Structure 1
Amino acid sequence: MTTDIIADMLTRIRNANLVRHQIVQVVKTKLTLSVAQILREEGYISSFEVIEISNRKYLLVCLKYHSQKRQPIITGLKRISKPGLRIYVNKSNLPTVLSNLGIAILSTSKGIMTNNTAKKLGVGGEVICYIW
């Protein structure tokens, strides 16, 4: 098992996108569940489902692609805050990803949210990743 669950999740999604898989299996934690909910709300994935295999819970994430050419909706994922180097921002320095074409996922005192939601609520926090 990896120590960085989010990096593992992003790598699995990135690799599945590269080979055009429809679904990808990710270890279920509260953090990965929150990130998957944000990805679904923002339209980067179509859905996800919680399954249990031999007393371990996993998320089955269904990836989205553009119609005929099967180009992935998610074109890039980048882990920002790592276990060895945490990156925090305050409410005045919230990041913008590709001129607001992408999202930044933040861990705040009010929960896991996007940079746009954090800007509306006026909170800062730890920058988990960028997705575009």
Structure 2
Amino acid sequence: MKKYAGLLLMLTLLVGFTSCEDDEDLEERMFGRVWVGDVGMNAVNGRILYREFTFDPDGFGEEYQFFRNGELYDHFRFQWYWEDRYSNNLVLDYGRNGTSYMDNVDIYRGVMTGIFYLTGDSEGFPFALEMQ
């Protein structure tokens, strides 16, 4: 019985360390890059907005919003953090401008995917942001 308990403990630790490495690897792929795409937002006049996100290792980032023709619509700074250490859910805290969420974040072949929520009670929008 002791033999199996030790094996179970080792497997539990292995899974825990693997989870941390995956999060760190995801963060490393996020940093130092610009991520561009549509997260389901429109301007006040109804025109589609494309967004450009950067995530810095210090937990801060920037968002630029553009019209399709490249004209700048708005710019924000935010603080980002993982919702908890076991999920791939990002919280984007814009201070006075509210909080948005990127759930199920994954990066594969230069594309960041997930579900974007403008607020905690808004409908989610599947997004795919391309690395620039």
Query: Given the two structures, how large is their TM-score scaled by the length of structure 2?
Result: 0.23
Structure possessing the higher relative contact order (Cα contacts under 8 Å, 6 or more residues apart): 1
Query: Given the two structures, how large is their TM-score scaled by the length of structure 1?
Result: 0.23
